[in-house]
Amino acid sequence: MRSNVSEFRLEAAPTLEVTLALLSLGKHTPIAGGTELMVALSAGRLPQKHLLSINHLRELRFIEVTPTTITIGSGATFTDIRRNAVIASDFPLLSQAASWTGSIANQNRGTIGGNIVNASPAADSPPALLAYDATLTVISSSGTRTIPYTGFHLSYKKTALRPEELLHSISIKRNFSGYKTYIRKVGARDAQAISKIALACLARTTEPAKPASGAVGDARLITDIRIGAASLRETPTRCTAAEQALLNQPLTPATLTTLIASARAALATEARPIDDIRSTAKYRAAVAANLLEEFLRNL
């Protein structure tokens, strides 16, 4: 049943400071682009009646680049992210995720903050942010704190954010040059689809050993590996068991088959997908393992 909009109240404060003061009263729900909340409202599934707009706050819509770090304001839209040259060059997983989030209209309106705080296990930006080890800065009228993104999602749709807090920004260190990247979203269609399963992966390997005294040395060691997944568990997740199975392992044509088998087996131990209208748990687990194998073969 559709909501009766006269039961809802929308406020907008002139500054971030006043917004935080209102949030500290504990009555309001922030609304950024509204691409999640307005769908819920329209479907009669929005229990929160007091909405506080943060969409107009310039303090939250920025992308700041330093030589070592990028900081993305929670109010940055997917279009802002998709168009940013540093994100495209240094963080291709995030750039790609932004470009396949919904339609162009969604990308113009939907924010990265809304995508994270909405906490859907199927959302597009979390696997990339998990792989890049992003750090979240959250603010309230009583101060600022930082949370590693790997510790933000506590259980299904439950996060470490307190009701009086806003997600301010997302920071990522610019130290992924030389990493191999892989990202793939499997949905019902190529465009405008929520993922059935998605993987965002990063890996660093040593250079192949230089052939010495006639020996052909092509062994490379996997010295860092990060695998972020959507729809593999009840929250966006890092696949730490699969990462551990691959870390410090030699990567050669001879070891590849064994390596893939052990990575697939490790992933199976941590995959807990759900059955829902988009897909079955069995399909999700099988396709996640296939994507992991594709990543390793590309590596």
Within 10 angstroms of residue 191's Cβ, the number of other Cβ atoms is 8
Within 10 angstroms of residue 167's Cβ, the number of other Cβ atoms is 26
Q: Could you say whether residue 92 binds ligand FAD (CB under 6 A)?
A: no
258: its two tokens: 């064994």
Q: Could you say whether residue 167 binds ligand FAD (CB under 6 A)?
A: yes
Among 20, 22, 36, 170, binds ligand FAD (CB under 6 A): 36
Among 194, 219, 247, 299, binds ligand FAD (CB under 6 A): 194
Among 32, 76, 130, 267, binds ligand FAD (CB under 6 A): 32
Smaller CB distance to ligand FAD: residue 104 or 265?
A: 104
**Total of chain residues touching ligand FAD, rule CB under 6 A:** 27
- What letters, b where the CB count within 10 A reaches 16 and e where it falls short, cover 204-214? bbeeeeeeeee
Where in 40-59 is the site for ligand FAD (CB under 6 A)?
A: 54
Residue 147, strand partner residues:
136
Q: Could you say whether residue 111 binds ligand FAD (CB under 6 A)?
A: yes
DSSP state of 279: -
Instruction: Kindly state the smallest distance separating residue 138's Cβ from ligand FAD, in Å.
Output: 8
Smaller CB distance to ligand FAD: residue 152 or 176?
A: 152
Q: Are 231 and 271 in contact (CB under 8 A)?
A: no
Q: Could you say whether residue 31 binds ligand FAD (CB under 6 A)?
A: yes
- Collapse the DSSP code of 197 into the 3-class scheme (helix H, G, I; strand E, B; otherwise coil) and give the result: strand
Q: Could you say whether residue 106 binds ligand FAD (CB under 6 A)?
A: yes
Instruction: Kindly state the smallest distance separating residue 118's Cβ from ligand FAD, in Å.
Output: 4
Q: Could you say whether residue 159 binds ligand FAD (CB under 6 A)?
A: no
What is the Cα–Cα distance from 280 to 299, expressed in whole angstroms? 29
What is the Cα–Cα distance from 262 to 244, expressed in whole angstroms? 10
